[in-house]
Amino acid sequence: MRDVAIVGVGHSKFSNRFDVRIDELAWESAKDALKDANLSAKDLEFLIVGCTGGWSAESLPAVICSEYCGMLPKGSMRVEAACATSSAAVAVAYNFIASGYVDLMLVVGVEKMFESPNPVQIELIGRAGNYFWEFENFGLTFPGYYALHATSYMWKHGLKEEDLAEIAVKNHHYASMNPKAQFRKEITADLAMQSRYVAWPLKLFDCCPLTDGSASLILASESIAKKITDTPIWISAIGASTGTGNLSKRDMFTKLEYSGLESAVEAGQQAYKRAGIDPKNTAKHFDVASVHDCFTIAELMAYEDLGFCRRGEGVKLIREKQTYNGGLIPVNIDGGLKAKGHPIGATGCSMMYSLTKQLRQEYGKLAGKAAQATIKNGRALAHNIGGTGHYAYVTILSLEKPHT
């Protein structure tokens, strides 16, 4: 197996992008990634498109994106894993290169959610669990799923609605600096607390938006990466896990009682083992993390699922502001899904775009010095969840080449 590095990254503006088709949106980030790596499309050997689909009129997004990006007749494929789609696409690309099948390839995560009306989007997301048992019989939507987690965490660990509001405040604070973010205004805890309930105890400002957007990565084998850049960002490890479709079957292997996601725990443990990281007190190993904060409670659970703190102590990290830049572990200092936006198929690549910029110490030039993490360990972590733990991918990026 060969080592694999990220050598180019690109990102579109996240918003409701009525101004572009899905292939044009994909090209926005792809052309930036090519420019970043000083390459042209003809240099690439394969394209993987992460796109959940269903929202857009295009049923073969990889084909039209290949054509628009100038990749024909190179091979292509579409990958889907719900909200973890483009992390799964990166995992496939990683294995293509590590195995020796190709040396240089493009991964594009893209989604055009606003081609469907809002009620259709909500229904399609709600169908992402076990359709018959949960959506059809009980009418659960995704805010409802995560509200169950929030109420369980409140009961077990004394979480307050005000604590969740503080996560939203932090993420909007950093999104205000991010020129790619959907929401670029800071908010106050009072504003978050006064917003309407969506699914108690989750309010409007506890929920991520629906988003159009794309993010792209160029991956290369070690021999090629060293020719392209002096600062390759190595993919040290990837962990992946799948949770049950039916939430009533969760907690078969752990006793989280809906205050965490078993699949996220498993994916994290796999990644730590492969990267040679002690799974205890993991926060000290990373300079920055991007976690899947589709709802504020999801970010809180991620702190504990990833071992940044003990069970029940995530609230303490919030209250002490330890997940701000300069704290124990800076989390979502690009705005996260909560405020940067969550175009389903693009989110994983978007995380890795931000983390790559962070490790190169370039993010401060993009978003301002206050959003640039101090790089000491040379490691960053991306935690990407599909559904409510139906899929989980944890990807570790590093300045140092893995010891394989």
pLDDT of residue 310: 95
Q: What is the distance between the alpha carbons of residues 335 and 23, in angstroms, rounded to a whole number? A: 25
pLDDT of residue 131: 64
How far lies 264's CA from each of 6, 55, 234, 303, 366, in Å?
Answer: 23, 26, 22, 11, 30
Instruction: Compute the chain's Rg from CA coordinates.
Output: 19
Q: Which residues are catalytic?
A: 83, 342
pLDDT of residue 125: 75
Who's near 395: CB < 8 A, 6+ residues apart?
87, 90, 91, 235, 237, 238, 239, 271, 348, 352, 381, 382, 384
Neighbouring C-alpha atoms within 13 Å toward the C-beta of 316: 9
Who's near 21: CB < 8 A, 6+ residues apart?
58, 112
* DSSP H or E stretch at residue 199: strand 197-199
pTM value is 0.95
Spell out the domains of the chain, with CATH numbers in brackets. Answer: 4-117+210-228 (3.40.47.10)
How far lies 306's CA from each of 279, 317, 336, in Å?
Answer: 8, 14, 17
How far lies 268's CA from each of 210, 275, 278, in Å?
Answer: 27, 10, 11
pLDDT tens over the chain, length 404 residues: 899 999 999 999 999 999 999 999 999 999 999 999 999 999 999 999 999 988 877 889 999 999 999 999 999 999 999 999 999 999 999 999 999 999 999 999 999 999 888 788 777 777 766 666 665 556 678 898 899 999 999 999 999 999 999 999 999 999 999 999 999 999 999 999 999 999 999 999 999 999 999 999 999 999 999 999 999 999 999 999 998 877 777 765 556 778 899 999 999 999 999 999 999 889 999 999 999 999 999 999 999 999 999 999 999 999 999 999 999 999 999 999 999 999 999 999 999 999 999 999 999 999 999 999 999 999 999 999 998 899 999 999 999 998 65
Neighbouring C-alpha atoms within 13 Å toward the C-beta of 368: 13
Closest CA to 130 of 121, 122, 138: 138
Taking a C-beta distance cutoff of 8 angstroms, is the pair 338, 299 a contact? yes
Residue matched to tokens 């991918």: 393
